[in-house]
Amino acid sequence: MTCHSKVTYLCPNGHRTGVIDSEEGVSPYLIQCPECGEKARSEGYFFAGHINYTHMFYMPGIEEIRQMTDQQIEQYKNKVLFLKKIEK
Ligand SMILES: [Zn+2]
């Protein structure tokens, strides 16, 4: 099943990050805030459509997996999606 959903994350400093979630896999409950690096918590789909979506979730390809840290490989094994900035 492929569904294109939009979710938002809010960090303790009030930065809200919009993420397009278009891949099969588990969206993480916490991400690193792109603005300040703090842990940002998922707000789910509540704010969908009200903000700009600057990031997306994806599953890395084989080239990227080769360069991963152990922690990232663990994340990959658990099918937790990775975050990247949307290139304009
Ligand atoms: Zn922040």
Residues 15-71: pLDDT tens digits? 999 999 878 889 999 999 999 999 999 998 766 667 889 999 999 999 999 999 999
Instruction: Please state the pTM of the whole predicted model.
Output: 0.82
Q: How many CB atoms sit inside 10 A of residue 44's CB?
A: 11
Cα of 1 vs centre of ligand 1, distance in Å, is: 32
Give residue 82's pLDDT: 96
With contact defined as beta carbons under 8 Å apart, do 11 and 32 qualify? Answer: no
Ligand 1 centroid from CA 83, angstroms: 15
Q: What is the CATH number of the domain that holds 23?
A: 2.20.28.270
Non-local (6+) Cβ contacts of 79 within 8 A are 25, 26, 59
**Cβ 22 vs Cβ 4: under 8 Å:** yes
Instruction: Give me the pLDDT at residue 2, please.
Output: 45
Residue 21, φ and ψ in degrees, nearest 5: -115, 90
Query: Which residues sit with Cβ closer than 5 angstroms to ligand 1, an ion?
Result: 11, 13, 15, 33, 35-36, 38
User: Phi/psi at 81 (nearest 5 deg)?
Assistant: -70, 155
Task: Please give the residue range of the domain that contains residue 15.
Answer: 5-85
Q: What is the count of structural domains for the chain?
A: 1
DSSP letter for each residue of 7-54: EEEE-TT--EEEEEE-SSSBPPSEEE-TTT-SEEEEEETTTTTSS-EE
DSSP state letter for 51: S
